[in-house]
Chain A
Amino acid sequence: MRFYLQKIMFYVVAFWAALTLNFFIPRLMPGNPVDVMLSKLGAKGPVSPAARHAVELLLGTKTSQPLWSQYWEYLVRIFHGDLGLSVTYYPATVSDIIRQTLPWTICLIGLATVISFLLGIGLGQLAGWKRGSWLDNLLPITTMFQAIPYFWLALILVYLLSSRLSLFPLFGGYDVYGASPGLNFGFIGSALYYGVLPAFTIVISSVGGWMLGMRNMMVATLSEDYILAAEAKGLKPRRIMTAYAARNAVLPSLSGFAISLGFVVAGSIVMEQVFSYPGIGSALLNAVQNNDYALMQGIFLVITFSVLGANLIVDLLYAIIDPRTRARA
């Protein structure tokens, strides 16, 4: 019981620290949203000097509130679920924008990470089990894929497979001409098709890490006494590999997996730039470029939630699965 309380207290502290950072850091950025907006409008057409007053009124940015009272108001609003209005997409609320974009990012990158994890774990398990097989040669290759800059590989693949060979679409999340969003077969099929290449690039650039970790853990676990005992008992090799060795070897990978799920949003920015995928990463980039404090804070909050949430779940799960963790604390 004490263990769980400790954990939860820690996460409360971490969450508060993240919220505070999320509030202050965007405000440290130079410039203000009104000037940026007017300057960008001015590049596309005439903007009279009188526009500034109108836009300030509209956005409600003229505030003489002291920073501390703004901070308190921000905390109160967060707990009511009110994330404010976005400047870039005015008058849409931050929640609207997040609702529009988050599902795309989560579905694509979440799915790709899960596939990558399962594939990596499976291959790592086999590589650790069958020592000295051809799978061992696969290991350096997949690990090297991890060292390749993701966007470089993705751009080359897009150029070769989408531009040159027209096997995959060039941009977008689904076919905007043929499919309309909703729970229909055409839309889902189109979304899956458009997600293949992005997911593929994510998988090949991250599968190496899972494989390496799993293999090394398998090797360590296979030398334990209980494996020897299981062999002596005469159990089938396959059963030993999965039920005894892999089950124990996967523990560190599981925690790493949960942590990487938390970083799904963070990792999506580059992917969305390459594939013109309309997810939350590109919304974050737009927010940064427009000094859109509310939207930035909102998206950072989502990232914080997912990272902390994933960590908390893993910690709790670990405690359930591995009794030693509880004892160690």
Chain B
Amino acid sequence: MMLLTSAHKKTTRGVAVAAAVVASALAVAGCSSGSSGTSASGASQITIFNGATGTIAENFNPFSPTLLQPTTGVIYEPLFYYNLAATAAPKPELATAFKWNAAGTQLTITTRAGVKWTDGQPFSAKDVAYTFNLIHKNPALNTSGLNATATATDDHTAVLTFKTKSFTQEPQVLGQTPIVAEHIWSKISDPAKDINKNPVGTGPYKLKSFASQSYSLTKNTNYWEKGKPQIDTVRYISLATADAASAALLAGQVDWMSAFLPNLQVLLNGHKNLTYVNTPALTTSLFTCANASLGCTGPQTDPAVRQAIYYGIDRTQINKLAGGGFAVPASPTMLLPARDAAWIANPADVTAPQSTDAAKANSILAAAGYTKGSDGIYQKNGQRVSMTVQVVAGYSDYISAISVMATELKAVGIELKSTQLAYNAWNSNETTGKFQLTMDSIGLGASSNPNFTYSPRYTTANTTKVGQVAASNGNYARYSNPSVDAAVAAAAATNDEATQKGQYAIVQQQIVRDLPYIPIYVNSTLTEFNTTNATGWPTNSNKYAFPASWKSWDNGIVLKELKPVK
């Protein structure tokens, strides 16, 4: 009884109290304002949105799959840096030179002198050797399948000894392995599970503070590259949706982010300090379940149908309506025409046709024994050429692309239907081969060498029957071709580019004819920058790094090049 009486008297009082609290909060909040730019002491600061949503869990372990993105590249560094946005030789970071022996079983690395860890201890080749041995000894850390041991012959030389010929391991070993300190990690009991709260690295920044909604890094004053980095503090935040990200960008609260923002140019209109760069790197394709002998069913198991789709779509229109005009032409060899033209053997295979070639599509199907039914769709032996494309719900650009393709292919006589699935369902179907067509993309290998496109996606070793899980990011199309397998193996066995080119020419000839993955275009990777607080970002004419804010390794390179705006 007492409970209720007082509860009701408090009604009006309660409202008044709430109002007072809010008012005082607003007053107090006025004192605690802050934003990107210069902090109180005049130090320069930028804010990065790297795709983190929701709460942030602390994990600076560079070997963990759930690590916080700046750990690799900004706090810890690799031996060399491989730029995927342009053709360039690997850039020396913690190592200055490397050399293979003729058999491809020994890699000698010369490490850089004058590098210090952030706790003041000197860096040496012993740390490099320790890192590789650590990975080799702990299978849970070995995500690259490294099969080598390492020794440091002196303070500046480390030698990796592989069990088998391992030329193809080079970009992974040199460019994707974070080098850690022996004197710290030898004391860590469980290197796979440790969250490494106080990371000690060689990189341009070190951890300043961590909170579950944001963390910040401060510049490493002992960094080995003199005069770099120049920005004092780098802050990372978390945002829930692309809408929130674009709002933050337009309000000047984010300096660097990567998001496909529809109508980007319209959005940036009137914001003189906002700029963007487009580094297309992923070939958006229709993955087909191509191999009937491994269990695929449907019209797409016939190469003629796949070729008809390839010639039937109008890539210019798809780019305009779905890709925002930012996509660039793809190649049936699944390499990037702009960057990898040197690897493409046949000049006719450099780019896919950019407009519909209905005549060719029709002749291909007719030659394969298809006839047009009364509804305008081709059919053979009673089976209509009608296929379903699976796509992740919410990927609006993919969904629009499929919509456009469906209209274009209908004119050619092929029916395309689409189903939208949640990510996990879509992914599960893709890995187990339970699809006819699915929308996905290929790209971002360890380096621009074609091995990283052909080996995972086209070799029999990386595929399996429909119903079983194939190797991750592997040969989902269930493609199996002995000449391709042999050519890829031969190319991997040598370090000589000329030989490799010859072998890849064989691969390309096969896959351009078979088209288990039908390329649409090379999708844009848009990165937006705010030049109010920092300049020196990569530009469309100077792609010194792949600047996506979510990419590991390149983020360190970009941060090193930035200069604060006074």
Contacts and interface: CB of A to CB of B under 8 A. Distances in A.
Chains A, B in direct contact (C-beta < 8 Å): yes
B36 A177 contact: yes
19 contacts: A30-B425, A30-B428, A31-B427, A44-B548, A58-B64, A89-B55, A115-B15, A125-B11, A158-B247, A162-B247, A171-B247, A172-B214, A179-B32, A246-B8, A272-B54, A272-B240, A278-B55, A282-B53, A289-B424
Contact of A35 (B10, B22, B428, B444): B428
Contacts of A190: 28-29, 32
Nearest to A167: B26
A181 B32 CA distance: 13
Contacts, number: 264
Contacts of B241: 273, 276
Interface in B220-256: 235, 237-241, 243-244, 247-248, 250-251, 253
A228 B29 CA distance: 51
Contacts of B140: 54, 57-58
Contacts of B239: 171, 276
Contact of B473 (A38, A58, A163, A285): A38
Given A39-B427, A250-B8, A45 B141 contact: no
B248 A171 contact: yes
Given A50-B142, A92-B57, A190-B29, 4 more contacts: A48-B456, A118-B18, A189-B28, A196-B26
A178 B493 CA distance: 56
B213 to A, nearest CB: 5
B80 to A, nearest CB: 14
Nearest to A56: B140
A278 B238 contact: yes
Given A45-B551, A289-B424, A178 B32 contact: yes
Interface of B: 1, 3-5, 7-12, 14-15, 18, 21-22, 24-26, 28-29, 31-36, 39, 45, 53-59, 64-66, 139-145, 171-172, 176, 192-195, 209, 211-214, 235, 237-241, 243-244, 247-248, 250-251, 253, 282, 422-425, 427-431, 441, 444-446, 452, 456, 462, 469, 471-474, 548, 550-553
B463 to A, nearest CB: 10
Contacts of A275: 240
A18 interface: no
A328 to B, nearest CB: 19
A51 interface: yes
Contacts of B144: 48, 50-51
Nearest to B462: A49
A119 interface: yes
Contacts of B282: 43
A171 B25 contact: no
A96 B141 contact: no
Contacts of B4: 247, 250, 321
A185 B25 CA distance: 10
A286 interface: yes
Nearest to A287: B54
A229 interface: no
Nearest to A57: B140
A289 to B, nearest CB: 6
Contact of B251 (A47, A163, A185, A196): A163
A55 B423 contact: no
A90 B66 contact: yes
B471 A181 contact: no
A121 B1 contact: no
Contacts of B145: 48-51
A325 interface: no
Contacts of B11: 118, 121-122, 125
Interface string A245-268: 011001000000000000000000
Given A58-B140, A92-B57, A243-B5, A276 B427 contact: no
Contact of A46 (B141, B431, B446, B550): B446
A227 interface: no
B66 A196 contact: no
Contacts of A38: 65, 472-473
A54 B141 contact: yes
A49 B57 contact: no
B148 to A, nearest CB: 13
Interface string A40-77: 01111111111111110110000000000000000000
A170 B39 contact: no
A171 B244 contact: yes
B192 A58 contact: yes
B472 A39 contact: yes
B66 A100 contact: no
B195 A91 contact: yes
B213 A176 contact: yes
Contacts of B211: 176, 180-181
A91 B59 contact: yes
Contacts of B24: 189
B172 A46 contact: yes
Given A91-B59, A186-B32, A247-B8, A278 B54 contact: yes
A175 B32 contact: yes
Nearest to A88: B66
B29 A172 contact: no
Contact of A96 (B10, B57, B431): B57
A305 interface: no
A101 interface: yes
Contact of A54 (B10, B36, B143, B251): B143
A193 interface: yes
The 6 closest A-B pairs by CB, nearest first: A50-B145, A189-B28, A177-B34, A192-B25, A193-B29, A178-B34
B55 A101 contact: yes
A321 B172 CA distance: 70
A51 B25 contact: no
A122 B15 contact: yes
A44 B525 CA distance: 11
Given A53-B139, A54-B143, A100-B55, A46 B10 contact: no
A173 interface: yes
Contacts of A101: 54-55, 212
Contact of B12 (A57, A122, A173, A272): A122
A282 B240 CA distance: 8
Contact of A189 (B32, B59, B471): B32
B162 to A, nearest CB: 14
Contacts of A243: 5, 8
Contacts of B193: 58, 91
A32 B25 contact: no
A163 B29 contact: no
A129 interface: no
Contacts of B59: 89-92
Contacts of A314: none
Nearest to A247: B4
Contacts of A179: 32
Contact of A286 (B8, B53, B424, B452): B53
A177 B247 contact: no
A45 B39 CA distance: 34
B147 to A, nearest CB: 9
Nearest to B461: A49
A1 interface: no
Given A48-B172, A54-B142, A173-B213, A29 B424 contact: yes
Contact of A278 (B45, B64, B212, B251): B212
Contacts of A97: 55, 57
A189 B10 contact: no
Given A37-B65, A45-B551, A180-B211, A175 B34 contact: yes
A217 to B, nearest CB: 13
B55 A170 contact: no
Nearest to A155: B243
